[in-house]
Chain A
Amino acid sequence: MADAFTDALQELREFRGDDPSRLAEPIARSFPVSGASISTLGEVLSSETVSASDPLAARLDELQLDLGEGPCWDALRTISPVLEPDIRHRPRGSWPVFLPAIAQEEIGAVFAFPLAVGHLRLGAVDLYSVDPTTLSPLQARQASALAAVVSRLILRRALEAASDDEPVAAPVDRYSRRAIHQATGMVIAQLGVSVDDAEMLLRGHAYAEGRSMADVAGDILNGHLRFTVETDGIEDLA
């Protein structure tokens, strides 16, 4: 399994293709589960299944997206994994609509990992097993690591897709670019992230709010906006 995980990590890191629909397969192969799915949900990206390794994985996703509740929503809300090793008989979470719905399906265990970059909540990776099963702490960490790579990939794709639209792609003059670089530095220091991640967060935040990067950079520089690693993720001091 360790090899499958290493392979999956590399495959996801190197993914540059146009079609993300097969991304769930290497994730599913990395763990002793029946299948995996990747979905976007929440306030930043519209709800949709990006990839599912098999029809039942797709069904599990569809149910949660349609019903608006389930492990993937909780994982995203809390920015931490939701582990349901025996969801049919001993569910830990309380989902009044979702639990009866999956009782109809051949699903014994569900493990949901949040997709997030910094404070931006993007979606979730779901693993499911036909029979009840557990993930070891190492496997849970590995799944979180894969989800982290998928998060960046998903956000980068969303930003590329949006880059033809206003206002994210609004022409930036040379002076504003300085402010954007300075704000990037502030985010690096605020979150302890890399330059690339800080830039992506800045752009992602602008995208999520439908504003220009220069605008968001201005708010960061004047202290109205501060990225933090607290549970809430962001402080809007405006």
Chain B
Amino acid sequence: MKGELREARLIEGFATLADTLVEGYDVVDLLQTLVEICQDVLAVDAVGLLLADETGELDVVASTSEDPRLVRAMQLGAEARPCHRCFETGEQVSLVGLDGAPAEWSGFRDAAEELGFGTVAAVPMRLRETRIGVLSLYRTDTTALSDADLRAAQALADVATIGILHERVFRETDAVRTQLQRALNTRVVIEQAKGVLAHTHGVSTEEAFDLLRGYARSNRLGLHDVAQQLVGRTLIF
């Protein structure tokens, strides 16, 4: 994607992110929107977002596809460099050509290569000293992401991070932790809701997520709220 078109989409992406950051917004909604914008704007084939839990372990919270194989590869990637190193250092880390990956992360390499990925870049979700997670970008070819793409990715990640760590909660580390933990817990409820919909609609769990997100969007509801109601059987659609 070149020039003006790309710029227009990037601006639209920032506007969408800003729109998501309304009072009482759903963190998982925000992060899901972020990965979708990244896939739309950057020259990448898959995007995942990992948040750190209380123990500092990274967990996949949003991804451009709910394909279990992709989620698994991204989760394996959390423990391998570059995601892990990116989170530790707060710096961007890229790996071009997964063949060069050392033996200890062969699990990640195999899972990523099975999906045809050749390149991964990890962009930190951080504000000053506070690191909350990693945005992971996957490409099927073995060429590095352009500097422009990496800058755009970082800028998008920064907006989302600042949104999460906004003034009020930023003063209290506990409040940030609570917020992040809630996002991770939301993911649990979303998985359960996917199971409910997979059964009631006779679809795969990937399609179930699309149904869930579609319903939440068209009714202007948060993913968490819709998922919670589906799991509690107070909402049936």
Contact = CB atoms under 8 A, between A and B. Distances in A.
Interface in B98-121: none
B139 interface: no
Contact of B195 (A173, A175, A182): A182
Contact of A190 (B75, B78, B199): B199
Nearest to A221: B205
Chain A at the B interface: SS class: helix
Q: Of A179, A187, A188, A190, which is in contact with the most chain B CB atoms at under 10 Å from its CB?
A: A188
B9 interface: no
A174 B59 contact: yes
Contacts of B192: 181-182, 184-185, 188, 195
Secondary structure of the B side of the interface? Answer: helix
A217 to B, nearest CB: 9
Contact of A185 (B68, B71, B76, B191): B191
Of listed A173, A181, A192, residue having the most chain B CB within 10 A: A181
A218 to B, nearest CB: 10
Interface residues of B, number: 26
A101 interface: no
A185 B59 contact: no
Interface string B67-111: 010011001101000000000000000000000000000000000
A188 B198 contact: no
Size class of the A contact interface (CB-based, 8 Å): 10 to 19
A118 to B, nearest CB: 15
A163 B60 CA distance: 27
A183 interface: yes
A234 to B, nearest CB: 15
Interface in B143-200: 187-188, 191-200
Tell me which of A186, A189, A190 has the highest count of chain B C-beta atoms within 10 A of its own C-beta: A189
24 contacts: A173-B75, A174-B59, A174-B78, A175-B72, A178-B71, A179-B68, A181-B191, A182-B192, A182-B198, A184-B191, A184-B192, A184-B195, A185-B191, A185-B192, A185-B197, A186-B198, A188-B192, A188-B196, A188-B231, A188-B233, A189-B198, A195-B192, A195-B232, A221-B198
Given A182-B192, A184-B195, A221-B198, 8 more contacts: A174-B57, A174-B60, A182-B194, A183-B195, A185-B230, A189-B195, A195-B231, A195-B232
Interface of B: 57, 59-60, 68, 71-72, 75-76, 78, 187-188, 191-200, 205, 230-233
